[in-house]
Structure 1
Amino acid sequence: MKKQTSFSTKGNRTNLGPLSINRMLPNRYASKVGPFVFLDYIAPAVKEIINKNGMGAHPHRGIATLTYILQGEEEHFDSAGNYAKIHSGGVQWMKAGTGIVHDGNLNYDPETNSKIIQGFQFWINLPAKNKAEKPAHLAIQASEVPQKALPNESGWIKVIVGNYEELSSKIPNYSEQFLLHIHLEAGKQFSISLNDKIEAAAFLTTQNVILNDAEFEAGEFVEFSRKAGEIEIKNTAQTTVDVLLFGGEEYTEPVIAEGPFVMNSKKEIVLAYEDFYNGKYGEIKNKKGKA
């Protein structure tokens, strides 16, 4: 049986210089999908100017941030001393844990001939016990992202978070979670079955796609019902299509989100701000890859 669609939305758009940022989650229908509580989509755009000094340092607590760059280069630095650059197809994951300050640069990829930037930033809510852990960071280059060809020359699938068949992401799983990038050739399809009570949503990048026999437009965020069932993706276009499918088990602990912090109570939010203003998250000292 195919899963029913709960809703679809195109989110809210904000311009940041030449970049168009689409806030897909939270939205007016949902505040989370499994452990995912935030999704910004950077639509394809040409960026000529190179940032070198960061885009604005800010704190986080209680979550893990995940940046997936389809096109471009993303540079990361934080108050725990982590520094890394990823290029087109790469992933930056940062567990804020008890608190961290981070910043970065988003530029075109010097390894390609394109000045196009396109990508995603997710926030993954941590279980209460993991919110008290030390910060951590992973930089995963495109060649390290698990990937396999789909049957019948249909395309390919990448596992950004979680598992699919024999593929497993390097990113830690603190609950059942998945983030898959499905690339389908013209006239092909892909199906996946999900268990009962698993929350799931799809995001369509730059092409219209058929999801469970209904057509949705490029730029739409589509959430599905929680009942067990199948999600079928069909590409009826004459070009390739890309779909992100993500979700996981329901986050059942209280969720209190304010600014850059996601905690389990209002008291914890107040403490997160107090600790930040008291300098307990440290400061960024490493912006060039050197101590």
Structure 2
Amino acid sequence: MKKKISFSTQGQRADIGEYKINRMLPNRYAEAVGPFVFLDHALPIKHSPDESVKKVNGSGAHPHRGIATLTYILNGEADHHDSKGHQEKVRSGGAQWMKAGNGIIHDEVLNVDPQSDDLLTHAFQFWINLPAKQKAEPPEYLPVQASEVPQQKLSDERGWIKIIVGAYEHLASAIPNYSKQFLYHIHLEAGKKFSIDTEKGMQYAAFLPLHNALINDTEYQEGEIIGFDRNEGIIEISNNSEAAIDIIVFGGERYAEPIAAGGPFVMNTQTEVAEAYQDFHAGKYGTISYG
């Protein structure tokens, strides 16, 4: 049996500077999908070859507590600096994961990938809500380059699947899990189908960043996020177009603890959110040393 659709919607524009962004989550239908409480889609931008490289210099520095941020870069180079001394560049096809834990300040910019000729920037940023225990732990950072992302070809030349978070069959991502969670990038060739067996009680969503697709016999449009009911069933994705398409499927077990969000902080109570702000303004998250 195919899973029922519980909602579908387009994102809301939430541009940041020159980045054109659609905010997909939270939306009017869902505050979270599994542990994922936030999804921004940085729309693809074609840059001129003589465009200057943006530098991290503090102007975009901001704090987090209580979540892990996950940036998945389809095209471009993400330059990361944080107040715990991590500095890294992650290029097209890679991801960077940062556990904010009990508080961190980070700064990141997205540039054209110097190792690519496409002159594109295109990325996603997710926030993953941490259990209370991990909210109190020290921050961590993990860069995952494209060559380190598990990938598997689909049978019958249907395309491929990348495992950004979680596991699929015999493959598992290096990104830590504190609950059942998954994030897949599926590339489906023209005229092909792909199905995912789901688990009862888990929350699932699909996002169509650039293409239309037929999902459980209903056609959805480019830019839509689609949520599913919690019953067991199949998610079937069909590509009826004449070109390959890309789909993001993500979710996990429902976050069971209370959620209190305020700005860049996601905690369990409003008192904890207030404490997060107080600690930030008191300088307890440290400062970034730009090298």
Which residue number in structure 2 is paired with residue 127 of structure 1? 131
Which residue number in structure 2 is paired with residue 194 of structure 1? 198
Which residue number in structure 2 is paired with residue 176 of structure 1? 180
Letter in 2 for 1:52: K
Distance in 1 (alpha carbons) for counterparts of 2:15 and 2:271: 34
Distance in 1 (alpha carbons) for counterparts of 2:37 and 2:15: 21
Distance in 2 (alpha carbons) for counterparts of 1:114 and 1:196: 41
| Partners of 1:66 and 1:93 within 8 A in 2 | yes
Q: Which residue of 53, 57, 61 corresponds with 2:56? A: 53
Alignment of structure 1 residues 86-125 onto 2, 5 Å: 86-125=90-129
| Partners of 1:18 and 1:45 within 8 A in 2 | no
Distance in 1 (alpha carbons) for counterparts of 2:224 and 2:56: 33
Q: Is residue 2:182 matched to residue 1:217?
A: no
Letter in 2 for 1:20: K
Letter in 2 for 1:198: M
Question: What 5-or-longer segments of structure 1 have no aligned partner?
Answer: none
Sequence identity, in percent? 58
Distance in 2 (alpha carbons) for counterparts of 1:225 and 1:53: 41
Which residue number in structure 1 is paired with residue 3 of structure 2? 3
Distance in 2 (alpha carbons) for counterparts of 1:122 and 1:223: 16
Q: Secondary structure at the match of 2:20?
A: strand
Please give the per-residue CA displacement for 1:134-182, whole angstroms capped at 9, x wherever unaligned. 1000000000000010010100000000000000000011000000000
In the TM superposition, residue 115 of structure 1 has moved relative to its aligned partner by 1.4
Q: Secondary structure at the match of 2:133?
A: helix
Distance in 2 (alpha carbons) for counterparts of 1:244 and 1:92: 17
In the TM superposition, residue 17 of structure 1 has moved relative to its aligned partner by 4.4
In the TM superposition, residue 20 of structure 1 has moved relative to its aligned partner by 1.3
TM-score (norm: length of structure 2): 0.97
Please give the per-residue CA displacement for 1:56-106, whole angstroms capped at 9, x wherever unaligned. 100000000000000000010100001110100010000000000000121
| Partners of 2:56 and 2:81 within 8 A in 1 | no
Distance in 2 (alpha carbons) for counterparts of 1:40 and 1:103: 16
In the TM superposition, residue 113 of structure 1 has moved relative to its aligned partner by 0.8
Alignment of structure 1 residues 67-86 onto 2, 5 Å: 67-86=71-90
In the TM superposition, residue 118 of structure 1 has moved relative to its aligned partner by 0.6
Residue correspondences, number: 287
Letter in 2 for 1:36: F
In the TM superposition, residue 252 of structure 1 has moved relative to its aligned partner by 1.0
Q: Secondary structure at the match of 2:163?
A: strand
Distance in 1 (alpha carbons) for counterparts of 2:97 and 2:154: 26
CA RMSD across the alignment:
1.0
